[in-house]
Chain A
Amino acid sequence: MAREVIRVETTGVGDGRAGATAPSATLLADLARVADEVLPALVARLGVSGLGEIEVRHDGWHVRVRRGAASGTTSRPTPTGSTASSGTAAGSGTAAHSGTAAGSGTGAHSVPHEPTVSSPGVGYVSYRSGLAVGHRVARGDAVGWVDVLGVRQEVVAPIEGVVGELLVAAGDPVEFGQSILRLLAADGATSARASA
């Protein structure tokens, strides 16, 4: 994939999140906001944009989020602060990508080897209505969810691709990290590992 870099000045951020706060805040408040709001927003945006890197500059600081070099097609945010399993994060803008971090596990820096989307939690699997083998999905699409005590944790396609195989029947239980479906990369030539 071509490495495309965009630099986003705060005044030019489309959703306004990064530039919304007055610059008079203390350093600590700034850091907290960067960690809690800006980073998850950037990570989510990076995940669906197809870009290699996003950088935000504002006042004295700047934040750059870059796609991991080793993983190629999979976004690998390193922060561990967000969690998909508490249930409270489900449905927010960051929920999809907290699952990405969770699924990477101990193999975070290894070359992709398993062309599957894995479960972000322990519970029962459901697929998006009508989803079937052969369907094309865009990067960032919710392909389904895992029901954890009644709270949905989204299963998100980390790459654009074609559904190759549903590995778990809808309604069946899954454990954390279990492979849920196989996703073929959009060009059809390779399968890509994806931890959604």
Chain B
Amino acid sequence: MFNRVLIANRGEIALRILRACRRMGVSAVVAYSEADRDTLAVRLADEAICVGPAESRRSYLNAAAILSAALVTGCEAIHPGYGFLSEDDAFAEMTRAHGLTFIGPPPEVLERFASKAGTRELLAAHGLPTIPGSHGMLRDDGHALDEAERIGYPVLIKPSAGGGGRGMRMVRTARELQQALTVCRSEARAAFGDDSLYLEKWLQDNRHVEVQVIVDRYGNGVHVGDRDCSVQRRHQKIVEEGPSPALDAAARQALAESAVRAVVAAGYENLGTLEFLVDQEGNAYFIEINCRIQVEHPVTEMLSGIDLVVEQIRLAAGEPLGYTQADVQLRGHAIELRINAEDVRHDFRPGAGLVERYLTPGGPGVRMDSHLYAGYEVPPFYDSLLGKLVVWGEDRTAAIERAKVAIDELVVDGIITNIEFHRALMDSRPFLDGGFTTNLIDRVGSAAFLTPTAS
């Protein structure tokens, strides 16, 4: 096991990783930007080191600064968290070249799974169903039009790199496709430095269901059930739950088993999440794999009792998995609410500023992962995630009831948040029915949930 780990991230996930290190008796150094000097992880860390200015390109995305920080502080491994450098195979390779361990899949595995289109082909060959899509990357507009014609409109334009909805567009006609290609290319280039695009058949009213897997380097793998992330706005998740209300027990087991079988066969390693779209008939289509710890990992932790970050560190250090599928017991239902600094009434515009008061909910089955404290100033430079409120109940109804109580206890004063929106969602008919689809909020608008008539 490592003696010392560099945490190359910020916000709630830096704190989460710090807690995992503490539990394992591993010393942790937090790398931070000048804008994050006052964040909780920096305050609680064994050591903290400033790696650059606020601009993430020069701090959290600056591979040389992060590696140098790990070396000068005597770390043996780097935990990249999510986002930033977490799925960058070149960074993982540099990390290894400097004699350090990247906590995640090894570089060659990241590289193998770096292309979404390539991964779909690879895992389709290992038995996962995939959405009809373009063969490979789009070479030019003519190729795109031909492929869209073959797949059938509407189609979704997707960038090969990255995520978070940037560079993505749904188009219904050839004319729309031609117009959107230019925009998507420039968005993808700006966000990920790579403007390769591909097409997928657009599935109307689908759900987003994902399977968590844990695989060691010796070919042992388990799944830790599924999560449903259908409550989204602009392709960004805001509520996640597990198990998914979209699947019955047989379909759930089949999906999870096929997922872990495919990734083990394809040589995957460490923690991973396989994302699927599930259509109205219950057909699941594999869309991509996330080679990192995910924001919504606590849902799975609440159901399984497994500390996923500890598992990630352990496996990166070369330890064997040490248990089998039969040892993984999932119990009850869990819901995660992403508490964001954003104005729900104004197009989810992000906010920032001083947190004047911060009171967290408690009680059985309630967990709050957040880097906030009263007096903390939320910087405007990064994403709007303030924290995650996670609840557990013996069944879905109990979990929703607990979520409502917890939301009512949560106080974040001084900055705008989406807390009120979460409370409304927990009372909304689509959520109570377990019938949320990924496009619902964008289609009907957030206001529909904030007025009593919608529920």
Of A80, A83, A122, the residue contacting B49 (CB under 8 A) is: A122
Complex: how many Å from CA A168 to CA B441? Answer: 55
- Over the window 35-74 of chain B, the binary record of Cβ atoms lying under 8 Å from chain A Cβ atoms (1 yes, 0 no) is 1000000000000011111110111001011011101110
- Count of chain B residues near A, Cβ 8 A: 22
Known pairs A80-B55, A122-B69; A85 contacts B64 (CB<8 A) = yes
CB distance from B67 to the nearest CB of A (A): 6
Known pairs A175-B50, A176-B34; A123 contacts B68 (CB<8 A) = yes
Known pairs A86-B62, A86-B64, A122-B68; A176 contacts B54 (CB<8 A) = no
Known pairs A148-B65, A149-B68, A173-B72; A83 contacts B34 (CB<8 A) = no
Of A80, A105, A149, the residue contacting B64 (CB under 8 A) is: A149
Chain A contact residues: over half helix, strand or loop, or mixed? loop
CB distance from A196 to the nearest CB of B (A): 15
Of A106, A123, A151, A177, the residue contacting B72 (CB under 8 A) is: A123
Known pairs A85-B58, A85-B64, A86-B62; A105 contacts B53 (CB<8 A) = yes
Complex: how many Å from CA A151 to CA B73? Answer: 18
- Chain B contacts of A127 at CB under 8 A? none
- Is B62 within 8 A of A177, CB to CB? no
Complex: how many Å from CA A121 to CA B49? Answer: 11
- Over the window 73-113 of chain A, the binary record of Cβ atoms lying under 8 Å from chain B Cβ atoms (1 yes, 0 no) is 00000001001011100000000000000100110000000
B135 interface hit (Cβ, 8 Å) = no
Known pairs A80-B55, A102-B58, A106-B54; A121 contacts B35 (CB<8 A) = no
Of B34, B35, B55, B65, the residue contacting A122 (CB under 8 A) is: B65
Complex: how many Å from CA A80 to CA B68? Answer: 22
- Is A87 within 8 A of B52, CB to CB? no
B429 interface hit (Cβ, 8 Å) = no
CB distance from A143 to the nearest CB of B (A): 20
- Is B53 within 8 A of A175, CB to CB? no
- Is A176 within 8 A of B72, CB to CB? no
Nearest residue (CB) in A for B94 is A149
Nearest residue (CB) in A for B98 is A149
A124 interface hit (Cβ, 8 Å) = yes
Known pairs A85-B58, A175-B50, A176-B52; A148 contacts B34 (CB<8 A) = no
Which A147-176 residues sit within 8 Å CB-CB of chain B? 148-149, 151, 173-176
Which A123-154 residues sit within 8 Å CB-CB of chain B? 123-124, 148-149, 151
- Chain B contacts of A106 at CB under 8 A? 34-35, 54
A71 interface hit (Cβ, 8 Å) = no
A10 interface hit (Cβ, 8 Å) = no
Nearest residue (CB) in B for A124 is B72
Most buried by A among B53, B54, B69, B98: B53
- Chain A contacts of B64 at CB under 8 A? 85-87, 148-149, 151
Nearest residue (CB) in B for A151 is B64
Complex: how many Å from CA A87 to CA B94? Answer: 14
Complex: how many Å from CA A86 to CA B57? Answer: 10
Nearest residue (CB) in A for B35 is A106
CB distance from B253 to the nearest CB of A (A): 48
Complex: how many Å from CA A87 to CA B69? Answer: 15
- Chain A contacts of B98 at CB under 8 A? 149
- Is B69 within 8 A of A175, CB to CB? yes
Of B34, B49, B69, the residue contacting A105 (CB under 8 A) is: B34
- Is A85 within 8 A of B65, CB to CB? yes
Nearest residue (CB) in A for B52 is A176
CB distance from B78 to the nearest CB of A (A): 13
Complex: how many Å from CA A14 to CA B336? Answer: 64
- Is A102 within 8 A of B52, CB to CB? yes
Complex: how many Å from CA A173 to CA B51? Answer: 12
Complex: how many Å from CA A148 to CA B63? Answer: 11
Known pairs A86-B64, A122-B49; A177 contacts B69 (CB<8 A) = no
CB distance from A85 to the nearest CB of B (A): 5
Which B134-162 residues sit within 8 Å CB-CB of chain A? none
- Chain B contacts of A87 at CB under 8 A? 64
Complex: how many Å from CA A177 to CA B54? Answer: 12
CB distance from A173 to the nearest CB of B (A): 4
Most buried by A among B34, B57, B59: B34
- Chain A contacts of B34 at CB under 8 A? 105-106, 176-177
Complex: how many Å from CA A106 to CA B98? Answer: 32
CB distance from B391 to the nearest CB of A (A): 37
Complex: how many Å from CA A122 to CA B70? Answer: 10
CB distance from A170 to the nearest CB of B (A): 14
Nearest residue (CB) in B for A173 is B72
- Is B55 within 8 A of A176, CB to CB? no
Complex: how many Å from CA A80 to CA B98? Answer: 29
Complex: how many Å from CA A124 to CA B57? Answer: 22
- Chain B contacts of A83 at CB under 8 A? 57-58
- Chain A contacts of B49 at CB under 8 A? 122, 175
- Is A85 within 8 A of B69, CB to CB? no
CB distance from B33 to the nearest CB of A (A): 8
Complex: how many Å from CA A32 to CA B134? Answer: 36
Complex: how many Å from CA A91 to CA B72? Answer: 23
Given A123-B68, A151-B64, A176-B34, 10 more pairs with CB closer than 8 A: A87-B64, A122-B49, A148-B68, A149-B67, A149-B68, A174-B72, A175-B50, A175-B69, A176-B53, A178-B50
Q: Could you write out 29 A-B pairs with CB less than 8 Å apart?
A: A83-B58, A85-B52, A85-B58, A86-B62, A87-B64, A102-B53, A105-B54, A106-B34, A106-B54, A122-B51, A122-B52, A122-B68, A122-B69, A123-B68, A123-B72, A148-B64, A148-B65, A148-B68, A149-B68, A149-B71, A174-B72, A175-B50, A175-B51, A175-B72, A176-B50, A176-B59, A176-B65, A177-B34, A177-B50
Pick the 8 closest A-B CB pairs, nearest first: A173-B72, A122-B68, A175-B50, A176-B50, A175-B49, A122-B69, A105-B34, A148-B68
